[in-house]
Amino acid sequence: MYYYQIRDVLTDSDESAVRNREYPYVALLNEEEYRQVSDIFNMGIDIDQDLNNVLNTKVVVNYDSLTGTIDIPCMPNDLPDNRHLAFALDENGIVFIDNDDYTLNVLKRIQASRRWRFPSLERFIYDFLEETIAPDPDYLDKLEKELENIEDQIMSGEVERYPSRFNDVRSELLEMHTHYAHLIDLAKELEENENEFFAENNLRYFRLFGERTARLQDTVTELREYIVQLRDLVSEQLGIRQNHIMTLLTVITTIFMPLTLIAGWYGMNFVNMPELYSPYGYPVVIVVSALIIIVSLVWFRKQRWL
């Protein structure tokens, strides 16, 4: 169990922070710990949530509390798997239920990097949510550079087939797009302040977070569209390459057609063929064949087929 008070910094405390409520509090427990001490929070509802079955980020407005879940994608955070946590809050503080170390690490980063001129529960929630998406801009920038590198490879002819990486990136972007949509809904629900837990002048924090998340979602949308363009570019380049191969085969076939005709004529060996006994017949046929090849190549070059 971890307890904190929201002062000018996030200050370590104990269970008394919840009981005294002199300052807004933050509590972090796992599921078993929460079941044991849930009564001290007096939120009028029990969080009966299996964290292993958390599928998305959402918030539910109750009579005297807000409860919800947060699903953290593994990609931007460089985690082996998605992280799931639940929370409950009222005007006095917020309780996180997390079976892993993810939330604890976020709280430690906030404790080490944040100092508030006007500390409040709203500002803490804003900073906590900001920390969950802090790696995302760098991750999206990395994806964009990766796609730009693939585009350069496509244009230089190094890509000979549809890159399988596109499917992985599309899947990641789809998950992030959905995640941002849920975070935007979460921010709007908090800004709605239906239970009037938050001070009116602090609702701007939730609006700011929602706007920033919307910008990240726009970036994800642009990257998804970029992948569609790259898919079309791959198809176009492969089509150009196939057309070039077909053109080359057509040129070769066209050149060898008259040579095949000549070989067919002079392979019949009729007695009355005038060149049959001529000492110059063989070299003349060779010269004629060479001229046909040269003339054909010059003509194809002028037609820009080669």
3-state secondary structure the chain: CEEEEECCCEEEECCHHHHHCCCCEEEEECHHHHHHHHHHHCCCCCCCCCHHHCCCCEEEECCCCEEEEEEECHHHHCCCCCEEEEEEECCCEEEEECCCCHHHHHHHHHHHHCCCCCCCHHHHHHHHHHHHHCCHHHHHHHHHHHHHHHHHHHHCCCCCCCCCHHHHHHHHHHHHHHHHHHHHHHHHHHHHCCCCCCCHHHCHHHHHHHHHHHHHHHHHHHHHHHHHHHHHHHHHHHHHHHHHHHHHHHHHHHHHHHHHHHHHHCCCCCCCCCCCCCCCHHHHHHHHHHHHHHHHHHHHHHCCCC
Instruction: List beta partners, residue 87.
Output: 68, 96
The pLDDT assigned to 247 comes to 78
**How far is 43 from 92, CA to CA, in rounded Å?**
10
What CA–CA distance (Å, rounded) separates 135 from 75? 9
Distance CA 279, CA 292 (A): 22
> What are the residue ranges of CATH 1.20.58.340 in the chain?
2-238
- Residue 239 one-letter amino acid: G
CATH 1.20.58.340 for domain 2-238: yes
Q: What is the pTM of this model?
A: 0.77
AA identity, residue 229: Q
Per-residue confidence (pLDDT) for residue 306, from 0 to 100 = 66
CB atoms under 10 Å from CB of 23, counted, come to 18
Q: Are 114 and 1 in contact (CB under 8 A)?
A: no
The pLDDT value given to residue 46: 59
- Take residue 56 and report the two structure tokens written for it: 């998305």
CA 164 to chain centre: 14
pLDDT at 258: 86
Amino acid, single-letter form, for residue 3: Y
Q: Are 136 and 74 in contact (CB under 8 A)?
A: no
Q: Are strands 93-97 and 25-29 parallel, antiparallel or unpaired?
A: parallel
How far is the C-alpha of 122 from the C-alpha of 128, rounded, in Å? 10
**284's tokens:** 């003349």
132 closest CA partner among 74, 55, 56, 63: 74
Closest CA to 181 of 296, 41, 58: 58
pLDDT of residue 293: 85
Rg (CA), the chain: 35
Query: Which regions of the chain are under pLDDT 50?
Result: none
Give the pLDDT confidence score for residue 48 in this predicted structure.
56
**pLDDT tens-digit profile of 159-177?**
767 777 888 888 889 999 9
As a whole number of angstroms, the longest Cα–Cα distance in the chain is 123
**In terms of DSSP bridges, do strands 10-13 and 83-89 run parallel, antiparallel, or are they unpaired?**
unpaired
